[in-house]
């Protein structure tokens, strides 16, 4: 190689930067969701919006970069490309900037200055593609054209996330100080549910893992039917979770229960989280809360006490003009009112309908 710097030198320095970034971040806090004290059940929401890019995707982005660098797929100067329309693009742009790498997010739909602005803040750029399902092929073509690397989070994140304790599962068990009866998560790539499920089995925990799934998503019917190739072909309206097909990163064998959640219920529950915490959370957090309350109700019916843990996936002012805005919500044909009433009735009197 002559005088060229050995590739391992840059890779080692880049991974050291990622490791240092992780070490500087304290565990994200647990926030209590208020339940009547005499129920004997505690509901914790682990607040992933406290991460530097304000979402759960921060962990996955770091892990994907680390894995791709260690695998030799990202080297010094590599243009990094991803197909995504949400928080993943922001988190990945953050890490690309940290490592001095060009970053391009291929997003579905027509150009959106608001979406692009969040990525451009970290030095990345966005390309918009229609129809939405064309983003994957477009991202791969772009990466090939510039000699870059297509991250492909839907395949890579599940392999990259650590499941032995150096991630969200390890923090949950360390902070709660006991084994939760249930942990409740949603699935976009499936990486978070896979890492938590593996952690539970690796350490022999009796905690059970529940997955919430929005309308139009393939995960619930795929899990229930055992069809690994199940597809609906329809996009989710709940940002960050739900997929039109069973993604390769989703591991159904690790899930004890999958709960389909109506989209209007996700909206109503997101607003309940905002009331309890002051955080403008997205619909994925609302789906988590709805599923968690369903499990709390079951514990009460059986006379059980214990702990349920779920996640605040993200929080951002942009949700104020969508999930928390009646004009927007009714504009997409949803009415969260009955579900908001169901939540309040449950918290007031313990009756879950």
CA–CA separation, 126 and 277 (whole Å): 32
Instruction: Show the domains of the chain with their CATH numbers.
Output: 26-52+163-349 (3.40.50.1100), 56-158 (3.40.50.1100)
Is residue 351 exposed (0-12), middle (13-18) or buried (19+ Cβ within 10 Å)?
A: exposed
pLDDT of residue 3: 52
Query: What is the average pLDDT across 4-14?
Result: 86
List strands edge to edge, sheet with 41-47.
Answer: 30-33, 41-47, 306-312, 182-186, 208-213, 257-260
Is residue 161 exposed (0-12), middle (13-18) or buried (19+ Cβ within 10 Å)?
A: buried
pLDDT of residue 4: 62
Q: CA-CA distances (angstroms) from residue 344 to 22, 32, 286?
A: 39, 17, 14
Torsion from C-alpha of 65, 161, 273, 278, nearest 10 degrees: -40
pLDDT of residue 2: 46
Beta bridge partners of residue 141, listed in sequence order = none
Query: What is the average pLDDT across 165-189?
Result: 92
pLDDT digits (tens, 9 = 90+) for 250-309: 999 999 999 999 999 999 999 999 999 999 999 999 999 999 999 999 999 999 999 999
Q: Is the pLDDT of residue 1 over 70?
A: no
- Is residue 246 a contact partner of residue 188, using CB atoms and an 8 Å limit? no
- Cβ within 8 Å of residue 63, ≥6 positions away: 157, 160, 161, 162, 167, 191
- Is residue 315 a contact partner of residue 90, using CB atoms and an 8 Å limit? no
pLDDT digits (tens, 9 = 90+) for 178-213: 899 999 999 999 999 999 999 999 999 999 999 999
Q: How confident is the model at residue 22 (pLDDT cuts 50, 70, 90)?
A: very high
DSSP structure string for 44-83: EEEEGGGSTTSBTHHHHHHHHHHHHHHTTSS-TTPPEEEE
The pLDDT mean for the chain works out to 94
Query: What is the average pLDDT across 125-139?
Result: 91
Which of 141, 159, 148 lies closest to 75, judged by CA?
148
């Amino acid at each position: 190689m002559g005088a060229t710097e050995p590739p391992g030198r840059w890779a080692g320095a880049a991974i050291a930067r990622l490791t240092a970034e992780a070490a500087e971040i304290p565990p994200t806090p647990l926030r209590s969701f208020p339940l009547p004290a005499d129920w004997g059940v505690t509901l914790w929401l682990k607040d992933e919006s406290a991460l530097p890019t304000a979402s759960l995707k921060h962990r996955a982005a770091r892990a994907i970069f680390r894995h791709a660098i260690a695998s030799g797929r990202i080297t010094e100067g590599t243009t990094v490309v991803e197909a995504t329309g949400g928080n993943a693009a922001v988190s990945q742009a953050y890490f690309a900037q940290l490592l001095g790498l060009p970053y391009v997010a291929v997003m579905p739909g027509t150009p959106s200055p608001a979406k692009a602005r969040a990525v451009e803040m970290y030095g990345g750029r966005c390309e918009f593609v229609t129809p939405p399902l064309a983003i994957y092929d477009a991202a791969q073509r772009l990466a090939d054209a510039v000699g870059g690397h297509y991250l492909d989070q839907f395949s890579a994140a599940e392999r990259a996330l650590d499941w032995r304790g150096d991630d969200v599962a390890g923090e949950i068990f360390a902070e709660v100080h006991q084994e939760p009866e249930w942990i409740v998560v949603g699935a976009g790539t499936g990486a978070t549910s896979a890492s938590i499920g593996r952690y539970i089995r690796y350490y022999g925990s009796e905690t059970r893992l529940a997955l919430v799934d929005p309308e139009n998503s393939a995960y619930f019917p795929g899990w229930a039917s055992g069809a690994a190739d199940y597809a609906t072909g329809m996009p989710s309206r709940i940002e960050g979770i739900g997929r039109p097909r069973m993604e390769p990163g989703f591991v159904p064998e690790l899930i004890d229960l999958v709960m389909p959640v109506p989209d209007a219920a996700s909206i109503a529950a997101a607003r309940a989280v905002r009331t309890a915490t002051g955080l403008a959370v997205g619909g994925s957090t609302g789906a988590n809360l709805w599923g968690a309350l369903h499990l709390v109700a079951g514990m009460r019916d059986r006379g059980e006490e214990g702990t349920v843990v779920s996640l605040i996936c993200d929080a951002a002012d942009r949700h104020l003009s969508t999930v928390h805005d009646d004009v927007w919500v009714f504009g997409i044909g949803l009415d969260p009112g009955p579900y908001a009433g169901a939540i309040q009735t449950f918290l007031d009197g313990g009756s879950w309908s």
